[in-house]
Homo-oligomer: A and B are copies of this chain.
Amino acid sequence: MGSSFGQLFRITTWGESHGGGVGVVIDGCPPRIELSEEDIQRDLDRRRPGQSKIVTPRDEADRCRILSGVFEGCTLGTPISILVMNKDARPEAYSEMKATYRPSHADFTYEAKYGIRNWQGGGRASARETVGRVAAGAVAKKVLSKLSPRPLEIVAYVTQIQEVSARIDRSSVRTEDVERNAVRCPDEAAAELMTALIQSVRDEGDSLGGVIECVIRGVPPGLGEPVFDKLEADLAKAMLSLPASKGFEIGSGFAATRMKGSEHNDPFEVRDGKVRTTTNNSGGVQGGISNGEDIFFRVAFKPTSTIARDQKTVTASHEETTLAARGRHDPCVLPRAVPIVEAMAALVLCDHALRQKAISDFGK
């Protein structure tokens, strides 16, 4: 269990990195939304390996196929099944992993949990599983564009790689700014430093982590379900369910812990005839419900566990050994994680938009 996400817009991903393929079934997608394989492919292409010099060279075209739920270009309201076959799988590259636990990977824990694991390339724990998330996220965006009274924009970007931090105007940054470079950091100067850093660390056989920030503009007030399914709670779960993520903060986040209430509180004012806040330390969510301001949050990613250096570890039979990665891998997951963060954000918002739709406009 645990491969489904969402209450009303509910996705179920499946697939291992080495096996028939990976995919997703979306149940609860509203009918009569225009949807084509191209809509999905666009986001998959941003996630796929081999797209630039700083990501893994694994060669997967990741062509998606919609097998159900769409008819004559529109959603039917029935489950949408999306399939991506695995192509460039080289299980032989992973033969050492059969008996040896890679440090900070999930080999040992999958073995402990299930008593069995697909040792070829990470199996279900591989980031390849996120193909299904990105595909579903693309559908969620289409639904949101129908549901939302004003344009809803979800823009994620790399804001920090190791010690290199970017300066980004959160209120205006757009997807085209992000896509301008391979590292997906809209501060060009920082992006160049980051790229150089990633290449240099890769050449050392090492890896890097960093921070992705995501801003969402145009969310109407009222999304989020107290008390457990608060919007930030579901976003936090979504982000911590991503491979390699170690932290989440919304709005002021950990910085809030050093402020006083009089500094942190967001005064209300009336702007353009609407109730707005003067500042936005809340990050667009108050009491678990969107307040109409920009929602923004940050996700911490650890350095990729797969490194080309010798590391101490043990075998399944408890013998000490050393291991150096041979499979293809990313020296830094963040550039490819950007569309994944956006996809998860879209899934959370779409689900909450439908949940709110179910109970709104009563009692008038």
Contact = CB atoms under 8 A, between A and B. Distances in A.
A127 to B, nearest CB: 10
A79 to B, nearest CB: 4
A265 B68 contact: no
Interface in A1-43: 1-5, 7-8, 10, 12-16, 19-23, 25, 27-28, 30-33
B253 A20 contact: no
A304 B226 contact: no
A228 B28 CA distance: 13
A259 B320 CA distance: 25
A91 to B, nearest CB: 11
Contacts of A22: 68
Majority SS of interface residues in chain A?
A: mixed
Nearest to A241: B233
Interface stretch (A50-58, A100-108, A167-175, A177-185): A100-108
Contacts of A28: 1, 359
Nearest to A163: B258
B267 A103 contact: yes
A262 B304 CA distance: 9
Contacts of A99: none
A300 B257 contact: yes
Contacts of A201: 260
Contact of A268 (B20, B235, B247, B313): B313
A209 B355 contact: no
A1 B129 CA distance: 23
B74 A305 contact: no
Contacts of A93: none
Interface in A266-285: 266-270, 273, 275, 277-278, 281-283, 285
Contacts of A106: 226, 286-289
Interface string A137-148: 000000000110
A363 interface: yes
B78 A292 contact: no
Contacts of A206: 260-262
- Highest count of chain B CB atoms <10 Å: which of A15, A252, A257: A257
Interface string A227-271: 111101111111111010111111111101111111111111110
A12 to B, nearest CB: 5
A208 B263 CA distance: 10
A110 B115 CA distance: 33
Interface in A285-320: 285-292, 300-307, 309, 311-314, 318-320
B109 A275 contact: no
B117 A1 contact: no
Interface stretch (A118-126, A149-157, A187-195): A118-126
27 contacts: A1-B225, A2-B227, A2-B288, A4-B12, A12-B12, A14-B25, A19-B68, A31-B114, A31-B115, A32-B114, A71-B123, A77-B114, A78-B124, A101-B268, A104-B282, A106-B288, A109-B285, A112-B222, A124-B227, A230-B240, A232-B246, A236-B248, A237-B240, A260-B303, A261-B307, A262-B307, A278-B312
